[in-house]
Amino acid sequence: MWCNYLLNVSVEQYGRSTACTADSNVPVSGLRAPQALNVVNNLAENWRLFKQKWRNYAIITNLSQQAREYQVALFLHTIGDETLKVYNGFKFDTPDAARTVDEIIDKFEIFVVGEINETYERYVFNRRDQLEGKSFEAFLTVIRSLVKTCKYCDNCVNSILRDRIVLGIRDVTTQQILLRERALTLEKTIDICKSAENALL
């Protein structure tokens, strides 16, 4: 069986096209593990993308069915040399023999938060506008992701997101409608933008 064979391959082979589908033992042609995590530049964004790609890769390859040691070895092989050096500096409560990928990811979450440049993250967030050809939903998803690393107070996040939408939405007519609204909430802002976009379809 192909998936059983994977347990016997060397670590050097983990990143190759040896993935299995969740419903069968047929290899997923051309599928590769995510590229190594870049911990030098724009760490927060790189980590978000890497984690998302890793989660998807794990689902597609049915990785949860593999042994814990295999999952950990594959993850550590995938993250790259520089990130592996960061991992080697972590302190864990569990021994190596019992460690899971989720525990390692949690440690990286803590590391990334500690390394975040608050000013830079807010700069990126506040300069993000709706891109040409991108839907409002895509714009909303992006800014909701970006705001997470800005370290704004919890009570301020909704109003900050609302303002970013008003300032960053591409459709001028919708922007004018938002600016005329009194007591504009984030929820109302989202509803207006979605309704306006649907009306144009």
Give residue-wise pLDDT tens across range 136-188: 999 999 999 889 888 899 999 999 999 999 999 999 999 999 999 999 999 99
**What integer pLDDT is reported at residue 45 of this predicted model?**
84
The model's pLDDT over 67-126, given as tens digits with 9 standing for 90+, comes to: 999 999 999 999 999 999 999 999 998 898 899 999 999 999 888 877 778 898 899 999
**In angstroms, how far apart are the furthest CA atoms of the chain?**
65
pLDDT digits (tens, 9 = 90+) for 22-54: 444 444 567 888 999 988 877 888 888 999 999
The pTM is what? 0.54
Reference 175, options 139, 146, 124; nearest CA is 139
Average pLDDT of the chain, as a whole number: 84
Contacts of residue 35, defined as CB under 8 A and 6 or more positions apart, other chains included, come to: 80
Task: Please name the helix (run of DSSP H) or strand (run of DSSP E) that holds residue 52, with its range, or none.
Answer: helix 43-60
Q: Which two tokens stand for residue 198?
A: 């649907």
CA nearest neighbour of 185 among 167, 161, 168, 169: 161
